[in-house]
Amino acid sequence: MEETESFRDSIATVDKQGKRNWIYAQKPSGKYYNARSILSYLYFIVFFVGPFIKINGRPLFLLNVVEGKFILFGAIFWPQDFFIFGLAMVAFILFIVLFTMAFGRLFCGWACPQTVFMEMLFRKIEYWIEGNAAAQKLLNKAPWNTEKIRKKTIKHVLFYVLSFLIANTFLAYIIGIDSLMHIIKGPVSVHAGGLATMLIFSGIFYGVFTFFREQVCTVICPYGRLQGVLLDRDSLVVAYDYERGEPRGHFKKQEEHSGGDCIDCLQCVKVCPTGIDIRNGTQLECVNCTACIDACNFMMEKTGRPLHLIRYASENGIANKQPLHFSTRYKVYSLLLITILSAISWMLISRQPVSGAVMRTAGMLYQERGMDSITNLYRIKLVNKTTGNILVSLKLEDTPGSINLLGQPVIHVKAEDQGEGTFFVVLPRKNIKDRKTILHIALYTGNKKTGSIKTTFLGPVK
């Protein structure tokens, strides 16, 4: 059998000597590109405006890993809500598995910030300044004349400014827009560390979008690497219909066509931002950007053939003409996902506005108070998840006895902050039956019970 030229056993962007093959992707045009462009405009609006939106004075999203403070849709989460986060992470990973099994790398092509910023912002600016793929190639080969210096300067300045904006917006999602503005407006001497971080992040983004580009998807991104184990023959991917396209052959006018529909025009390869030929099947580098669908549809239309020789399809759909269906694996994962999401929803709904932890004072057992009472000394830490200051009082539940807060009648916990206190639990000696008694301490704000904490009370050995 004749060996096909397009077969490869190496990554498309690296040559046999290990040097980078720079990809000059031709500008795509077509239905899918237009749809992705519209979506990207919405994406940019949401991304850049997001940090400025506040609900009840709180940001819409805040992922402050440094302080362990997280805000989602205006609801604040602390490390004490770690359990919810753990479950959310499991649900998120399951969601990725499920989603990828069903829809392949749909996320990469339509929603991944790397693809959206690269293809819909930086690449578009590059086309605008340097022209289409062939013009860019010529410009790079040309000597450094005035025209080249002008174009390259404009491009790199614009790329750095955009990288600066993107990096700072990401930073705003981490430290909050108010802290970011504080760094920007404050004197350099006070915020030197913050400014240095901003410039370093901007430099990294500039390097990624200007030089590293598709290598992020093909070499670094772990999600891309997972595709091999997550995709199956029923997964929906951007695929070439080889049943219809082969045997491929050059299109000749007036010719009575007898082969497949692929006219070997290579337009699908020329527009590919990762430099691959989708006709070789699903490949690691394919980010499902749909540029090859548009390119091929254009050629099919021009040559009077049915569209969608390259389209969203599953391997089973192409090889066996099977309609898309849910496999057993898919159903089991879906059930798991629904269960976990329900558990998370329940935990979110039943989440108390105040939570905390009680610890018995280290090194102390129990103290006798008079002839008829035993006391234990505790320390309590409370977290206020609301936007208002609250006063918390403590009461014993289901056990006769009392609580004496030291130095204050109630614990004052500021909005979105933490408060603490020290207190004695006093129990009648006659009620202590075991060395350890389980206690439930109720938290009250006014007359309203807002939570309960379980702890143990140590008594004398009988």
Residues that bind ligand SF4 (CB under 6 A): 238, 240, 245, 262-268, 271-274, 276, 278-279, 286-292, 295-296, 299, 309-310
Tokens coding 260: 């497949």
CA 378 vs CA 219, 424, 431, 433: distances in Å? 54, 6, 20, 20
Among 223, 282, 283, 294, CA closest to 37: 294
Provide the minimum distance between the beta carbon of 311 and ligand SF4 in the complex, in angstroms, as a whole number: 11
Tokens coding 342: 């329900």
Provide the minimum distance between the beta carbon of 163 and ligand SF4 in the complex, in angstroms, as a whole number: 23
How far is 325 from 416, CA to CA, in rounded Å? 47
Provide the minimum distance between the beta carbon of 321 and ligand SF4 in the complex, in angstroms, as a whole number: 19
Strand partners, 405: 423
Q: Which residue, 217 or 374, has its beta carbon nearer to ligand SF4?
A: 217
Provide the minimum distance between the beta carbon of 286 and ligand SF4 in the complex, in angstroms, as a whole number: 3
- Interior/surface letters 389-399, b for 16+ CB within 10 angstroms, e for the rest: ebebebebeeb
Q: Which residue, 157 or 220, has its beta carbon nearer to ligand SF4?
A: 220
How far is 219 from 213, CA to CA, in rounded Å? 10
Question: Which distant-in-sequence residues (6+ apart) come within 8 Å of 449 by Cβ?
Answer: 442, 443
Q: Which residue, 183 or 286, has its beta carbon nearer to ligand SF4?
A: 286
Do 412 and 380 form a contact (C-beta atoms < 8 A)? no
Provide the minimum distance between the beta carbon of 259 and ligand SF4 in the complex, in angstroms, as a whole number: 11
Q: Which residue, 27 or 182, has its beta carbon nearer to ligand SF4?
A: 27
Provide the minimum distance between the beta carbon of 452 and ligand SF4 in the complex, in angstroms, as a whole number: 55
Among 318, 340, 323, 289, CA closest to 98: 340
Q: Which residue, 268 or 439, has its beta carbon nearer to ligand SF4?
A: 268
Provide the minimum distance between the beta carbon of 298 and ligand SF4 in the complex, in angstroms, as a whole number: 8
Among 9, 11, 5, CA closest to 214: 11
Tokens coding 452: 């309960």
Q: Which residue, 43 or 378, has its beta carbon nearer to ligand SF4?
A: 43
Tokens coding 264: 């070997």
Q: Which residue, 285 or 416, has its beta carbon nearer to ligand SF4?
A: 285
